[in-house]
């Protein structure tokens, strides 16, 4: 069977039931000790300007931090991407761009 659970991957992102995502990205990246772990970053509707970052470890999502998009850009469409093996790239339709190193 090829389900995510059979491969040790979570079946859902760490968001409250009924929440809607504005944007999300996920990637397998090096964590502590260079061990590969699944990372996720997401912007949830109603949490304007907040991008939450999580890593999956031992079957649980662990919070890794958050990133704030400045006022004035927070209400714009947000795009998220993991780039260069460990950076989170956040951009908005209004031209705001931020790159944050995760490891």
User: So what's the pLDDT on residue 75?
Assistant: 65
Low-confidence ranges of the chain (pLDDT < 50): 1-6
Closest CA to 22 of 74, 77, 67: 77
Q: How many helices (H) and strands (E) does the chain have?
A: 0, 7
Under 8 Å between Cβ of 53 and 39? yes
Quote helix, strand, coil % in the chain, to nearest 5. Answer: 5, 50, 45
- At 96, list the tokens: 């705001």
Instruction: Identify whether the C-beta of residue 54 lies closer than 8 Å to the C-beta of residue 67.
Output: no
Question: What's this model's pTM, rounded to 2 decimal places?
Answer: 0.82
3-state SS assignment for residue 93: coil
């Amino acid at each position: 069977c090829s389900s995510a659970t059979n491969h040790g991957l979570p079946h859902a992102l760490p968001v409250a039931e009924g929440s809607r995502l504005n944007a999300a990205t996920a990637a397998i990246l090096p964590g502590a000790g260079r061990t590969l772990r699944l990372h996720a970053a997401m912007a949830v509707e109603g949490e304007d300007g907040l991008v939450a970052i999580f890593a999956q470890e031992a079957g649980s999502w662990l919070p890794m931090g958050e990133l704030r998009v400045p006022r004035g850009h927070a209400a714009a469409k947000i795009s998220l991407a993991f780039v260069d093996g460990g950076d989170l790239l956040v951009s908005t339709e209004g031209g705001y761009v931020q790159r944050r190193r995760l490891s």
